[in-house]
Structure 1
Amino acid sequence: MQISSTFRDPRLRRRGRWILLSMLIGVVSGLGAILFDLLFHLSQWALLGKIGRFSPPGAPLEGGEAFGPDNAWWLPVSLAVGGLLSGALVYFLAPEAAGHGTDSVIKSFHHQLGKMRKRVAPIKAISSAITIGSGGSAGREGPIAQIGASFGSFLGSALKLTHHDRRILMMAGMAGGIGSIFRAPLGASFFAAEVLYSKPEFEYEVLLPGLISAITGYSIYSSYAGWGYLFDVPEISFHQPRHLAIYAVLGVACALFGAIYTKFFYFVRDQIFKPMPGPAWIKPAIGATALGLIAVAFPQALGMGYGYIQQAIDGSLTIQFLLLFAAIKIVATSLTISSGGSGGVFGPSLVIGGALGAAFGQGFAELLPGWAPEPAACVMVGMGGFLAGVAKTPFAAVIMVMEMTGSYGLLVPSLLVAATAYLCLPLAVRLYENQVPARPDSPAHTGSFATDILRNLTVRDCLDQSESRGRTISADTPFDQLINLMASGKQTVYPIVSDDDKLLGELSLEDIRRVLLETEDERPEIAGDVMRSVVGPLTPDDKLTLAARLLASRQSDTVIVVDNINDQHVVALLSRRELILAYGREMVRLKETDLRDDVVKQEPF
């Protein structure tokens, strides 16, 4: 009997539904990763392979034969063709698929109720496969994240779930996609929960659905693409405390390179391609052609670059090459994505960090033989540290790199480098510009935090409900008449105005009480003699957060509102009661909006 009643518990049934939905999203994410992998290899064979006669080395687990280029001058042609195809596909069918997809998912979570157009995922997948397959420097996580997130969003809408639940399913889809393609289910679930905020904060409700989705997707994708770690890494572990000082310096270096990366990335977008004349769909081809010209001299700039990181782990690359590779990879990724090309920035960040860590490790090994950590260890630690700084995901970055490489023995230095890089980079210096600082700053949590409610309301919202602007008093009003006026009214604060109705000061009941305690000879003759400076004043466009601070800083319960700061004509009095009523009305409105199924009409596929 007790067991039967337990299974009828609605809370258990709700949890069971979340498990099933998360697994379903994981299935679609894993299959989506397989489909994207096929599209990518087809595109690479047709564009970079057949036209450019080049195939860059890949990660060991992914296989593929590296060759060429036979004639480097064909590389700009391959990239230009890919840029034209990708640009036309995106800008004529789904403009929001341009750029890096993870940031689009973050934006959807915070600002679009977790809703994504159905056509975005397939367009993003095809255009990204073309961009990367033609030689563009971009990552696979962007399109994969959007495939999983788009299905999670669709499922939430189809089942008529609340905005909150749809957002959670969308992020579970992101975790499923990233966990599949990088073979890092735990790190992907942490990434989906952590990447929404630039401060070290998590959307904790995403963690378990994201983990279930990522495990499911990882299992399906690995059954197709192979099991194991993405990179072949020797047995390395941390066992020398003296290495921590060197690792801390590496963290600072990751932060410095990360600042250059993010600044240059958005400089190319905002200062070069945005103001560039001409149709938007042409710009990805222009960026791709520029990258192709660089590739004539340095073909290693093309593609995802994982093969070169494996070579760095093996110790077969020089310091000079690694530093040049990291610098050119920053330029290559900026030209590919900032021009409007489609792809991710997560993968290139890992590659840049790995190359930087390898150069750093080799340099210290030559300077301090016997004291420095192994260069291969610095590759893994650099990957996680660099990503932690630019993506603002210190925990997820460390976990993902360990899952991708099997370098669990480097947990301690990885955490140190990630924390150092994260703390050395200001919150504003980040790759994902749609991140918000913390949960209270997200519109997704408006209605859960009182500060959010007041921040989204203005004084005007209170005035719309106010019946009277209150009573004003002329500065030359006799004091005896002033006492009678205040005794017969209910106001606690009276604005003192000039003949042209301009605010001069204010009087409160407390001010009058103090004056009445004085002798008649000491009492003022007119209101202007006893008025004091105004607290505030407020204007109709001021946020209610400011009004709350002003009311909290004074004894009386009223603040004067003027039309504007320059003219200062009194328009109303705002009381604590009106502020509380406005807060209550907005709270009710937001909660009702979030609980009912007011699905916004979306464009058909």
Structure 2
Amino acid sequence: MTEQASPPRTSDARFYLLACALGILTGAIGTLFHLAADQLLAWHRTMVAGPPTAVSIGLAAGSTCAMVVAAVYLVRRFAPEAAGSGVQEIEGALEGLRPLRWKRVLPVKFFGGLLSIGSGLVVGREGPTIHIGASIAAGLSDMARPGLVERRGLYAAGAAAGLAAAFNAPLAAVLFVIEETRTQFPYTFRTYMGVAIAATLSTVLTEEMAGMGPDLAISVPGLPPHYLIAFAGLGAVLGLFGYVFNRLLLWSLDGVLWIGRTTSPYLFPAVWGLLIGALIVVFPSATEGGEALILDLVQENWTVAGLFLLVALRLATTMGSYASGAPGGIFAPILTMATCTGLALGSAVSVFMPEAEHLPVAFAIAAMGGLFTSTVRAPMVGVVLVLELTGSFELLLPVLATCIVSNIVAERLGGRPVYEQLLERTLRLAGTPRPDEPGEHLPVQLGWDGRRND
């Protein structure tokens, strides 16, 4: 039996230079994407500003409908894999189960993402930037032709750089690769360092272009340790919420797919665009990704009933927006719903703890990590992401307790990571199910030095 040849290897210096270029390009393009999306969304808001009238509602509904349909057309016509978040596509590419057609995905994700975010759909910017980063990595790999291990390591580094650019959170981006793609990432010293380099340089470009500091700066003083029991209870609620969220998301995708097959693939996006457009005028808090709304929520005095109503509305609009087939992520909508839930539960609990003046806001911050954890099933990413986003490092223990309990409850309920389920659904629809045995999965066959173990 002949010995199987090792995959071609790239020198350390060359690989690290590729990681540097990847981080710089992803940071620049990702930040440009964010700034352009913010400008388009601001223009859209200005166009329909003022008290609700038949004219303003009609104008908003029509413009949103046109933008959503255009985004879905770009996806369906040129790059179907650019729909939704794209994280599952990257995980599939790391396993060798999905192609990463960067020449198609990169422009569709960029311009389609601008249309979907600018339209007011309830989607996040992190999904497009993560997919954009991995696509840039694929382009660099085609030019530099590194070995298979390094190529897939660059895919992961591009994804990390995209997440870092989205939230100005480099450490969470590195942890995301380690924790979320732990079964697909070809873990070697060089690929790990490549992820760290790309995420760091992407953040540098983001801060140079868009400013420094946490994206969602929220100041909350620390809390005594005996309050941790309350945060554990919050984690239990969010564990259930995340489990339900994942089930509803898959159900929504299947429902919209059935509608498209029985009527037209553009019927639901058009109708949903009309609805979201009307809501932009009538009840704008139920639309858009929600980053700006988070800051407004922690500063305004919403009633508990109003917050729970907002959670229900945003849950519905998130499901429809993601299922429409337009490019966009779910991180930002999840963080916004978590903020509403945390504020509502924190306000209720503070009735019994009147001495804890800042408990509702602390609950809101911890809830972001808890709901992220129960859906994505990456608790350490949830902790670090929330702390980097808000700058509330004094809440490390409360956030950690919330995420741990949320993860345990989601596991006990039988919940699975949302991107794992989305990838399986994609493979099933494509007629290429995941192999039963490890087979050629890189993490099974590669050692620390990147060479095959067989």
The alignment's TM-score, normalised by the length of structure 1, stands at 0.65
Taking only aligned residues, the RMSD between alpha carbons, in angstroms, comes to 2.9
Once the two structures are TM-superposed, the CA of residue 380 in structure 1 deviates from its matched residue by: 1.0
CA distance in 2 between partners of 1:102 and 1:174 (Å): 8
Gaps (5+ residues) in structure 2? 1-9, 425-433
Q: Does residue 85 of the first structure (1) align with residue 70 of the second (2)?
A: yes
The answer as to 2:157 corresponding to 1:172 is yes
What corresponds to 2:317 in structure 1? Answer: 332
2:25 alignment counterpart: 28
Post-superposition shift, 1:150? 0.6
- Find 1:404's aligned residue among 345, 369, 389: 389
Pair 1:304-2:289 in alignment: yes
CA deviations on 1:82-108 (whole Å, 9 max, x unpaired) are 111111111111111112222222222
Partner of 1:49: 46
Contact 2:219–2:391, Cα closer than 8 Å, also in 1: no
**Candidates 137, 148, 161, aligned match of 2:122:** 137
**Equivalent-residue separation in structure 1 for 2:272 and 2:351 (angstroms):** 38
Contact 2:307/2:344 (<8 A) preserved? yes
Q: Are the equivalent residues in 1 in contact too, given 2:152–2:185 (CA < 8 A)?
A: no
Deviation at 1:133, TM superposition (A): 0.4
User: Greater share of strand residues, 1 or 2?
Assistant: 1
Query: What's the counterpart of residue 238 of structure 2?
Result: 254
Matched, 1:149 2:134: yes
Kindly tell me: are residues 15 and 197 of structure 1, through their superposed partners in 2, closer, same or farther at Cα, counting changes over 3 Å?
A: closer
**1:49, CA displacement in angstroms?**
3.4
Counterparts in 2 of 1:59-78, with a 5 A limit?
71-78=56-63
Q: Which string of whole-angstrom CA distances, capped at 9 and with x for unpartnered residues, describes residues 109-165 of structure 1?
A: 223477333220111111111011011000001111111111112222322222221
- State the AA in 1 paired with 2:417: R
Residue type at the aligned position of 1:188? A
Whether contact under 8 Å (2:152, 2:186) holds in the other structure is no
Alpha-carbon distance change, 412 to 389 in structure 1, aligned in 2, over 3 angstroms:
same
Aligned pair in 2 of structure 1 residues 69, 37: CA closer, same or farther (>3 Å)? farther
Please say which of residues 424-433 and 181-190 is displaced more in the overlay. Answer: 424-433
Please state how far the C-alpha of 1:331 moved relative to its aligned partner. Answer: 0.9
Displacement after TM superposition at 1:48 (Å) = 4.3
Q: Structure 2 CA distance, aligned partners of 1:283 and 1:38?
A: 29
Higher RCO (C-alpha 8 Å, min separation 6): 2
Counterpart amino acid of residue 14 in structure 2: R
1:403: how far off?
0.8
Q: SS in structure 2 opposite 1:326?
A: helix
- In structure 2, the partner of 1:268 is 252
Q: CA deviation at 1:286?
A: 2.8
In the alignment, which of 396, 417, 421 is matched to residue 430 of structure 1? Answer: 417
Give the aligned partner of residue 343 of structure 2.
Answer: 358
Q: Are residue 184 (structure 1) and residue 169 (structure 2) matched? A: yes
Paired AA for residue 24 in structure 1:
A
Confirm or deny: 8 A CA contact 1:33 1:181 kept in the other structure. Answer: yes
The answer (yes or no) to whether the contact 1:113–1:163 under 8 Å persists in 2 is no
Q: Is contact 1:189–1:208 with CA below 8 Å preserved after alignment?
A: no
Partners of 2:127 and 2:111 lie apart in 1 by: 12
Q: Which residue of 2 aligns with 1:318?
A: 303
Read off the aligned partner of 1:376 and give its amino acid letter. Answer: V
Whole-Å Cα distance in 1 between the matches of residues 395 and 151 of structure 2? 37
How far off its partner does 1:211 sit?
Answer: 1.9
Q: Counterpart of 1:39? A: 36
**359-368 vs 277-286, which moves further:** 277-286
Give the number of aligned pairs: 423
1:251–1:203 distance in 2 versus 1, CA, 3 Å? farther
* SS at structure 2 position matched to 1:342: coil
Q: Sequence identity of aligned pairs in percent?
A: 26
Quote the offset at 1:207 in angstroms: 4.0
Question: For 1:391, which of 370, 376, 380 is the aligned residue?
Answer: 376
Rounded to whole Å, the distance in 2 between the matches of 1:208 and 1:215 is: 11
- Asked if 1:14 corresponds to 2:1, the answer is no
1:211 aligns with 2:196: yes
**More helix by proportion, 1 or 2?**
2
Separation in structure 2 between the aligned mates of residue 259 and residue 48 of structure 1, nearest angstrom: 33
